[in-house]
Amino acid sequence: MPWCPKCKNEYVEGTKECADCKIALVETLEERTAVIFGEKEQMEKLKEFLEYNKLRAITVQLNEEDNTYELWVKEEDEKQARKLAVVFMKEEARRKAEKETLDDEAKKGMNDIAEAMHVNSFRSTGVYQDSASKAEDNKSSAYTLLFVGGVGLVVVALCMFGVIDMNLNETSKYMVYGVMGALFVLFIVMGVVSMRSYKFFAQKAQTEDNLTGEIRKWCLADLNVEKVDEHLLEEDKSLKEEMKYFKRVEILKKLISEKFLNLDEAYLEHFVDDIYPEIFEKEE
């Protein structure tokens, strides 16, 4: 049965919105937490983005005290929701900056196109994948391609020597066997390429692990809540914790980039998301 996450009232099956609170109902009353707040339209778009990325039981509700809309998720999804929210906000900022650079005449023609492509542009936004994961993906692909290619060539050979009779005439036989043989050879070539990629990413993963260990050690030794918050602007120090999160993330990225040069942006974002709880949530 659906429930209202705000007033905790239970509704009959099929009801979508709380009659009193005017917010979407959820399936269960699991422990929930607010991730971010903003304008209603922006929070609804973020909700759509999170749901596309497999998060569920997300609600947007009005905080009447501040007259802002808050996005709530299950506590177990908080970390992933924050990561995806960062991706969303960056994409929103990029889109806004691009629109501001267009002249008025170009804007008029582009706005409809931008709106139509809104969801797809978010769906194409990738989440960082470490080298170890890439190595495993390539390894799995290599084994699959090599196996299919090898078995396929054996079957083609058996057909050509008459062990397996496919009941084809001479002309069709050579055409079919030629195409099938070429296809399975291509599978083997792709398997070899994937195996080389696996070895490359496996070596890179080792280097990446060493670098991650070194950066993590420095962060835990040299950074804490006080040192990071020293870099907050005076007006930012009074922000709610969920908004301080985004400011702190940018500060962490800047401090780490100054200490460890030439870090990949995607890697840095992924690392900061992981180290953030170890610096802030433990101390809080």
pLDDT reported for residue 171: 74
Instruction: Report the distance separating Cα 20 and Cα 35, nearest Å.
Output: 23
pLDDT reported for residue 111: 53
Burial class (CB in 10 A: 0-12, 13-18, 19+), 65: exposed
Instruction: Report the distance separating Cα 96 and Cα 113, nearest Å.
Output: 14
Pull the structure tokens for residue 182: 């070429």
pLDDT reported for residue 283: 45
Distances (CA, A) of 224 to 252, 274, 278, 279: 10, 15, 9, 6
DSSP 112: H
Model pLDDT for residues 6-39, shown as the tens digit of each residue: 777 777 877 878 888 777 777 666 677 888 888 8
Instruction: Report the distance separating Cα 282 and Cα 225, nearest Å.
Output: 10
Percentage of the chain modeled with pLDDT above 90 = 14
pLDDT reported for residue 139: 92
Residue 123 pLDDT level (bands cut at 50, 70, 90): very low
Report the amino acid identity of residue 241.
E
Domain ranges of the chain: 32-123, 131-281
Residue in the block written with tokens 């083609």? 156
Mean per-residue pLDDT, 146-165: 86
Instruction: Report the distance separating Cα 240 and Cα 236, nearest Å.
Output: 9
Residue 190 has pLDDT above 90, yes or no: yes
What is the helix, strand, coil percentage profile of the chain, to 5? 65, 10, 25
pLDDT reported for residue 60: 82
Residue 180 has pLDDT above 90, yes or no: no
